Amino acid sequence: MIRFENVSKRYADGTIAVDGLSFEVGAGELVTLVGPSGCGKTTTMKMVNRLIEPTSGRILLDGEDIAAMEPVKLRRRIGYVIQQGGLFPHKSVLDNTAAVPALLGWKKAAARSRAAELLDLVGLDPATFGSRYPDQLSGGQRQRVGVARALAADPPVLLMDEPFGAVDPVVRERLQTEFLNLQAQVRKTVLFVTHDIEEAVRLGDRMAVYGEGRIEQYDSPATVLGAPATPYVAEFVGADRGLKRLSVTAIRPEDLEPAPTVRLDEDAAAAGARLREQEARWGVVLDADGALHGWVRADALTSEGKGTVREHARRSQASVPAEASLKQAFSVMLQHDAGWVAVIDGDRFLGVLTPARLHEALRRSVRDGDAVESVG
């Protein structure tokens, strides 16, 4: 979808902003450009929509050289999101979102209908927020409007320049989650500029780690963390890159321990006796359909074994979906001060992840990265 062929940008004073960039971004791929301030990542992005013209080399969009395209028409094919959303302060949220379709000649009703649809998609009820103005929104809400506006004309490419950099960490994490969910639905080709390695790792299908005007490594986050290509990359991603791998390492079936289970409506005394036979101190409680309900102490069933398990069971929030990362599981474990985290597929209980198994999974992930490094 986007291909850089030996692209450089040199200014009249001799400053080299980017030097000989060659890389490709596939259709529907989210690529993060990460590096310190002044390394050339924003220049790279702005050359895609010709806000900055390259000195040499070619940039191809879906096989077509953008140098041959009329700049305004090119920009209308590309969504662009910056810090704080770059909203028009004198326009309502609905009119801000409808701005690009209106420029493209859409009828007003169609543009506003599309804007309302996208506001709903980014989690802003158009009936509540459509008539408000940017100064009546929180920072996170403004960012969501900015994303909605960038998607309004359904562009194939989305450029995002530090879009979540001006909000607090809690809102930033929530926006990242919302954007990943949104990207799973719309599958745009995205260039995402950030200086935050954690953000680059979490969001990117691939990441480009910049040095001084050059890409030092271009690969998946797991490979960058597990096998840094240069000493510079190793230093940039940090000595704790093994821990950072938690966020890009999925839970595998072999990471789970089978847990003793009892049924919610089972006789308490019988359930307690079975747990005692298994020398289990606790059991996972499932309902009649096998969905996770919570947990129960074995001694509660054996000493107070009256009625059903339901009367002794405790609800538990310590669970994660099967597609979760080790970082998500670890966070839930810490948040609930839990000795294990239940892993579920939809409602179906698969097993539990314990601290010992999580540690083993992290060590395996680091070993895999070391193996990649030694082969390279």
Please give the pLDDT value at position 237. Answer: 87
Please give the pLDDT value at position 376. Answer: 37
> Is residue 354 within 8 Å of 329, Cβ to Cβ?
no
For 174, residues 6+ apart whose C-beta sits below 8 A from its C-beta are 140
**SS3 state of residue 345:** strand
d(CA 104, CA 319): 47
What is the pTM (predicted TM-score) of this model?
Answer: 0.74
Closest CA to 257 of 315, 316, 343: 343
> Is residue 184 within 8 Å of 113, Cβ to Cβ?
no
CATH superfamily of 2-247: P-loop containing nucleotide triphosphate hydrolases (3.40.50.300)
Return contacts of 121-129, CB within 8 angstroms, 24+ apart: 121/148, 121/151, 121/182, 121/185, 122/147, 122/148, 122/178, 122/182, 123/178, 124/93, 124/148, 126/93, 126/94, 129/93
Evaluate whether 2-247 and 253-360 have a shared fold. no
d(CA 188, CA 165): 21
d(CA 242, CA 259): 28
Please give the pLDDT value at position 369. Answer: 53
- Do the bridges between strand 206-210 and strand 56-61 make them parallel or antiparallel, or are there none, so unpaired? unpaired
Amino acid at 62: D
Sign of CA dihedral 69, 73, 79, 84: positive
**What are the E-state strand segments in 186-265?**
189-194, 206-210, 215-219, 261-263
Please give the pLDDT value at position 239. Answer: 66
What pLDDT digit, counting tens, does each position of 99-121 carry?
Answer: 888 888 888 889 899 989 889 88
**SS3 state of residue 189:** strand
Please give the pLDDT value at position 304. Answer: 60
Please give the pLDDT value at position 305. Answer: 60
d(CA 17, CA 6): 13
Please give the pLDDT value at position 371. Answer: 43
> 145 phi and psi, to 5 degrees?
-65, -40
| CA–CA distances in Å: residue 309 to residues 201, 269, 276, 296, 313 | 43, 8, 15, 8, 6
Fold of domain 253-360:
CBS-domain (3.10.580)
d(CA 304, CA 279): 18
For the chain, domain boundaries = 2-247, 253-360
Please give the pLDDT value at position 215. Answer: 95
What pLDDT digit, counting tens, does each position of 145-160 carry?
Answer: 888 888 888 888 999 9
DSSP string for residues in 141-169? HHHHHHHHHHHTT--SEEEEESTTTTS-H
What pLDDT digit, counting tens, does each position of 259-303 carry?
Answer: 899 999 888 888 888 888 888 888 899 988 888 888 888 888 876
Q: What is the DSSP letter of 272?
A: H
Q: Indicate the burial class of 146 (C-beta count within 10 angstroms; 0-12, 13-18, 19 or more).
A: buried
Regions of the chain where pLDDT drops below 70: 84-85, 239, 242, 303-305, 366-376
